[in-house]
Structure 1
Amino acid sequence: MNIFRLAGDMTHLASVLVLLLKIHTIKSCAGVSLKTQELYAIVFATRYLDIFTDFISVYNTVMKLIFLSSSFSIVWYMRSHKIVKRSYDKDQDTFRHWFLVLPCLLLACLINERFNFKEVMWTFSLYLEAVAILPQLVLLQRTRNIDNLTGQYVFLLGAYRSLYILNWIYRYFTEPHYVHWIPWLAGIVQTLLYADFFYYYFESWKNNRKLQLPA
């Protein structure tokens, strides 16, 4: 495992911990899109179907269990916890996220590396992850004023994907025959979706002011 892959994994893990910190400690999910969290739960559930059948390493299994349990825990908190769900802004979080699922599934059936159930589900998870952040970005643009933890959560998610792109570049030049177009293209699309948020995030950091997206 190279430094870019490890940094990407740790950044991804940090994003989850930041969100859980906000929800569990502050008992608030204000500014967090339940729609995005539901999509991420689907992403991890379909990507890690091999968790009990294909052992790669202890590290790999532990990370899979963390992302599976945390994604479903966040959805449960936002839907069922009496205090947390009061802070959920349902009226603003109206992106029709289920309309993203079927196109990604159809695309995975048409464009994949091998046409079998596990491979199609893995490919589907890549396509869906690429666009899963859309409801969250739309919610942030509607609410405009973004609290510190929510801003850090979204920034860390974007940073994780950017580090994974560096990981792919590194592996392309250091590993023979390392070519995987599907995750590469899905990852690039996902990273581009964060471009606008990154700009305003760094502007707020540079000017030492609260993060605010334009209307």
Structure 2
Amino acid sequence: MNAFRFLGDMSHLFSVLLLLLKIYATKSCSGISLKTQELFVLVFLTRYLDLFIYVVSVYNTIMKLVFVASSIAIVWCMRYHPAVRRTYDKSQDMFRHYVLVGACFLLALVFHDEFTIREVCWSFSLFLEAVAILPQLVLLQRSGNVDNLTSQYVFFLGAYRAFYILNWIYRYVTEHHISWIAWICGLVQTVLYADFFYYYFISWKNNAKLQLPA
């Protein structure tokens, strides 16, 4: 494992921990898209079908379990925790995420490395992860003001993907490894974060609260 992948994993892990901190410390999911979190559950469940089939490494297995368990825990809290679910603003979280699921499934049926259940599910998870953040970004634009923990959560999610792109470049240079589906999905996902990153750095530079244009 190279440093870029490790930093990407740690950024991803830190983003999840920040979101869990927000939910459990404040008993609030204000500003968080339930639809994005449900998409992430679907991403991890379809990507890690091999979790109990074979073990790549202890580190790999632990990270898979953490991401699956934490994503399910977040969705459970937003849907069923008495205090947390009252803070969920359904009227702001209106993105039709089922359209993303359907489109990504069709793409996975066409573009995959091998026509098997595991490989199609793997491709589906890559396509879906690339666009899973869309409901969250739309919600933030509708709400305007973004609290610090939510902005940090989205920032580290974007950083995770940016580090993974560097990881892919490094692997191409050192190992000549190419995965076109992963590369294209990663680039699409990073582009979706570009607008958020711009306003994030503007607010950081001015030491002000993050505000997104409606």
TM-score normalised by L of structure 1: 0.99
Partner of 1:183: 182
Partner of 1:49: 49
Partner of 1:144: 144
Partner of 2:200: 201
2 CA distance for matches of 1:28 and 1:141? 19
Per-residue displacement from partner, 1:13-66 (whole Å, max 9, x unpaired)?
000000000001111100000000000000000000000002100000000000
2 CA distance for matches of 1:79 and 1:25? 17
1:22-171 paired onto structure 2 within 5 Å: 22-171=22-171
Per-residue displacement from partner, 1:54-99 (whole Å, max 9, x unpaired)?
2100000000000000000000000000000111111110101011
- Give the drift of 1:189: 0.2
Partner of 1:210: 209
Paired AA for residue 74 in structure 2 = I
Paired AA for residue 103 in structure 2 = P
Identical-residue share of aligned pairs (%): 67
1 CA distance for matches of 2:46 and 2:111? 16
Count of equivalent residues: 214
Per-residue displacement from partner, 1:141-200 (whole Å, max 9, x unpaired)?
000100000000000000000000000001100013x11100000000000000000000
Superposition RMSD in Å:
0.5
- Give the drift of 1:131: 0.3
Unaligned runs of 5+ in 2: none
Paired AA for residue 45 in structure 1 = L
2 CA distance for matches of 1:116 and 1:54? 17
- Give the drift of 1:106: 0.8
- Secondary structure in structure 1 of the residue aligned to 2:51: coil
2 CA distance for matches of 1:30 and 1:185? 32
1 CA distance for matches of 2:192 and 2:95? 16
TM-score normalised by L of structure 2: 0.99
- Secondary structure in structure 2 of the residue aligned to 1:209: coil
Q: Does 1:12 align with 2:16?
A: no
Unaligned runs of 5+ in 1: none
Paired AA for residue 103 in structure 1 = A
Paired AA for residue 26 in structure 1 = T
Paired AA for residue 212 in structure 1 = Q
- Give the drift of 1:110: 0.5
